[in-house]
Structure 1
Amino acid sequence: MSGRPVISTAGLTKRFGRVVAVDHVDLDVPAGVRFGLLGPNGSGKTTLVRMLLGLVHATSGSATVLGEPMPRRASTVLPQVGALVEGPAAWGHLSGRANLRLLDAAGPGGRRRTRRARVADALERVGLGGIDRRPVRAYSLGMRQRLGIAAALLRAPRLLLLDEPTNGLDPRGIHEIRDLLVALNEAGTTVVLSSHLLAEVEVLCTRVGVMDAGRLVLADDLDALRAPTGRIRVRTPDPGAALALLDGRVEAHDGGMLTVRGDDPAELNAMLVGAGVPVDALDRERRTLEEVVLEVTGSGSDRFDGRGPGTGRHA
């Protein structure tokens, strides 16, 4: 972990009647990371993000954002935070540019003198620089999502809190937004991404937290979670020769792909090549994020898209 926490919670809990949406969450997000908050739909991710923004008040526990208690110091914190939660909100009869101007004027800390330039810059960064005067109600879902991200970028935030930011985007759009978030992070913005998409978090984030049934069941650096398994994967056009040489060390093989017990790929490669066994590819096997998540969550399903058993109880 690097830097002082920009988000810190202690025993943070939210109940809606008898339903516990967020259950005693202790979370620290260091400054400068790209943090992925993972969990199936209904695991409590969005409620947690809404509490961090002061949109939902906690039943018990505490939260600080940028070193300030929330929601008590919301007027100080929110001008430094860009957020997109539960999809972009907009006045459908107005253009995207007009929407951003109004949002900037209505929000805390908006500066009228620089508003036009900041709106133009935010639209350019999300790929809407050539936007016309058509009303937002005529936008595609992907255009609306880009507009929501542009709204979050209006004031050069120190912290970005984004809930499913690539929803509705095509593959090229997902790639563009991912590149934008990496660039913002490298320039000093801490990015917190809430998502149920394992692959997206694994590609983008440097640190991961996993929510399950309202609880934070895991939080660690991605590199630590994807530790080596103690096996090496080898691809060879002569699997028979490799099997004979590595008798007892091969745990599985499928055609020319072998899974071999071992920690040192260089040593294994030298052994194979020295014995005349050709090697096309060789690398250390690592745990996938999917394996880690399925290990710590208790849904009893191999699905992670919110439609498996046990979902729907938490917001």
Structure 2
Amino acid sequence: MIETVQVTKTYGRVRAVDGVDLAVPEGARYGLLGPNGSGKTTLIRMLLGLVFATSGEISVLGRPVPRRLHEVLPDVGALVEGPAAYGHLSGRANLRLLDAAGRSVRRTRRRRVEEALERVGLAGVDARPVRAYSLGMRQRLGLAAALLRTPRLLILDEPTNGLDPQGIHEIRRLLLEVNAAGTTLLLSSHLLAEVEQVCTWVGIMDRGRLVGQDELAALQAPTGRVVLRSPDADRVVALLDGRVADRDGDRVAVIHPDAAALNAQLVAAGLRVAEIGAERRTLEQVVLAATGAGTDRMERR
């Protein structure tokens, strides 16, 4: 759905995006991670033709961008940075104007607008102007605009910005539903927990470069260690001498390929096991390994 080859964007002497090779498979939920200032938004703006690349190639929906952008945009929904709207008009009026600017059928416009508002939780909002909306309501309206025409590709830049925990949960559920119906998602965020719960693929940006890209399951594959908790931790360490990689109180990390087999061994030896499982890297560990410590930290929220 999206492919870039050595895409670079410079502003004077600053390389905002530096030689990025992005690949978003059809049907994927792709999370683009990175701290603020890492180049995520600039890359997304280039995908949508809002800014032009200094060098490199961009393909969206199998067509070169920006040369054939007019063929691409009707099938793409997008929410980039703060969603724009006419402040003196209601959310419904804004969506109707947006719909009228496209190639949609007029007689079904009202239904499309109401369905989009319903999906993002704004159906019950009265005719108040958008300037009276909260930040979270504006974000929901921007998402409704992105979903208005049932896009094949949905590109979202920080879609949960300004939402409370309930709102974040609702948007997460909506994105999963949209993807299940056939829409590919590209989600830019610096919230690791949200990407971990929504995405199937992850790309990690740091200082303008794409420093990692893979399926989330592959990035979080077992490490070859088993982590267990036991009130008999001292005896566990003595029994598994030479295979213990780490010990912290009742928590023991053991170099072992099979948690079930290790559990059976410990139980057979009369040792109590409170908790056991294969060790997997968290997304936070994956990101920190790829980017190192920075001044603008990722959020675990």
* Secondary structure class of the residue paired with 1:237: coil
- 1:225 is aligned, of 214, 219, 230, to 219
Q: Does 1:103 align with 2:98?
A: yes
5+ residue gaps in structure 1? 1-5, 306-315
Q: Quote how far apart the aligned CAs of 1:139 are.
A: 1.1
- Bigger CA drift: 291-300 or 127-136? 291-300
The residue identity in structure 2 corresponding to 1:199 is A
- Bigger CA drift: 294-303 or 196-205? 294-303
Q: Quote how far apart the aligned CAs of 1:188 are.
A: 0.7
- 2:150 is aligned, of 131, 151, 156, to 156
The residue identity in structure 1 corresponding to 2:181 is A
Residue 118 (structure 2) aligns with? 124
Residue 265 (structure 1) aligns with? 259
- 1:187 is aligned, of 181, 186, 189, to 181
- 1:10 is aligned, of 5, 11, 25, to 5
- How many residues are aligned here? 299
Distance 2:256 2:296 in 1: 29
* Secondary structure class of the residue paired with 1:276: coil
5+ residue gaps in structure 2? none
Residue 78 (structure 2) aligns with? 83
Q: Does 1:25 align with 2:20?
A: yes
Q: Does 1:197 align with 2:191?
A: yes
Please tell me the root mean square deviation across aligned C-alpha atoms, in Å: 1.5
Q: For each residue in 1:43-87, what CA deviation from the matched residue of structure 2 results, as whole angstroms up to 9, or x when unmatched? A: 111011011101111111111110111112121111100000012
Distance 2:244 2:235 in 1: 12
Identity of aligned residues (%): 69
Spell out the pairing of 1:266-305 with structure 2 (5 A cutoff). 266-298=260-292, 300=294, 303-304=297-298
Q: For each residue in 1:87-135, what CA deviation from the matched residue of structure 2 results, as whole angstroms up to 9, or x when unmatched? A: 21111111111111111112x3232221111110011111111111111
C-alpha contact (below 8 Å) 1:212/1:298 kept by paired residues:
no
Q: Does 1:49 align with 2:72?
A: no
Give TM-score scaled by structure 2 length: 0.95
* Secondary structure class of the residue paired with 2:22: strand
* Secondary structure class of the residue paired with 1:134: coil
* Secondary structure class of the residue paired with 1:143: helix
C-alpha contact (below 8 Å) 2:35/2:190 kept by paired residues:
yes
Q: For each residue in 1:171-204, what CA deviation from the matched residue of structure 2 results, as whole angstroms up to 9, or x when unmatched? A: 1111111111111111110000011112211111
Residue 89 (structure 2) aligns with? 94
Distance 2:239 2:6 in 1: 55
Residues 206 and 236 of structure 1: CA distance in aligned 2, closer, same or farther (over 3 Å): same
Q: Quote how far apart the aligned CAs of 1:253 are.
A: 2.7
C-alpha contact (below 8 Å) 1:87/1:145 kept by paired residues:
yes
Q: Quote how far apart the aligned CAs of 1:304 are.
A: 2.3
Distance 1:180 1:261 in 2: 40
Distance 2:138 2:147 in 1: 14
The residue identity in structure 2 corresponding to 1:62 is E
* Secondary structure class of the residue paired with 1:123: helix
* Secondary structure class of the residue paired with 1:220: strand
Distance 2:290 2:246 in 1: 25
Q: Quote how far apart the aligned CAs of 1:299 are.
A: 5.0
- Bigger CA drift: 254-263 or 138-147? 254-263
Q: Quote how far apart the aligned CAs of 1:302 are.
A: 8.4
Distance 1:229 1:68 in 2: 39
The residue identity in structure 2 corresponding to 1:269 is N
Residue 243 (structure 2) aligns with? 249
- Bigger CA drift: 184-193 or 67-76? 67-76
The residue identity in structure 2 corresponding to 1:219 is Q
